[in-house]
Amino acid sequence: MPRIPIDEIEPGHALRICLPEPARMHWGLDGWQRITDTATIDLGLGLHVADIPAAILASRKRLDFTIQWAASLR
């Protein structure tokens, strides 16, 4: 999976993670607090996305996440 570091998200913007296959995104805020699992949604054409809403990201300093692929569970 490509690694594309994001240093900053503008206030009021959501984050969309785009993946080539179904997956589960395991994520937490500010040092793995408020841990949440988000399943991707199939948008068609081989694109699966997980969104983190702007309201959740507001006033947070950090977002950490990892991906578990649905087919292989790796």
Q: What is the pLDDT of residues 14-37, one digit of tens each?
A: 999 999 999 999 999 999 999 999
Strand partners, 33: 29
Q: Is residue 3 part of a domain?
A: no
Count of domains observed in the chain: 1
Q: The whole model's pTM is what?
A: 0.83
Count CA atoms closer than 13 A to 52's CA, side-chain side. 22
Q: Is residue 55 part of a domain?
A: yes
For residue 8, name the pLDDT band (cuts at 50, 70, 90). confident
Least confident range of 1-5, 28-32, 40-44, 60-64? 1-5
Q: Is residue 1 part of a domain?
A: no
Q: Which two tokens stand for residue 20?
A: 């080539």
Q: Is residue 42 part of a domain?
A: yes
Domain with 64, as residue range(s), is 15-69
- pLDDT at site 69: 96
Q: Which tens digit of pLDDT belongs to each residue from 48-57?
A: 999 999 999 9
Q: Is residue 21 part of a domain?
A: yes
- pLDDT at site 49: 96
Q: Is residue 5 part of a domain?
A: no
Q: Is residue 4 part of a domain?
A: no
Q: Is residue 22 part of a domain?
A: yes
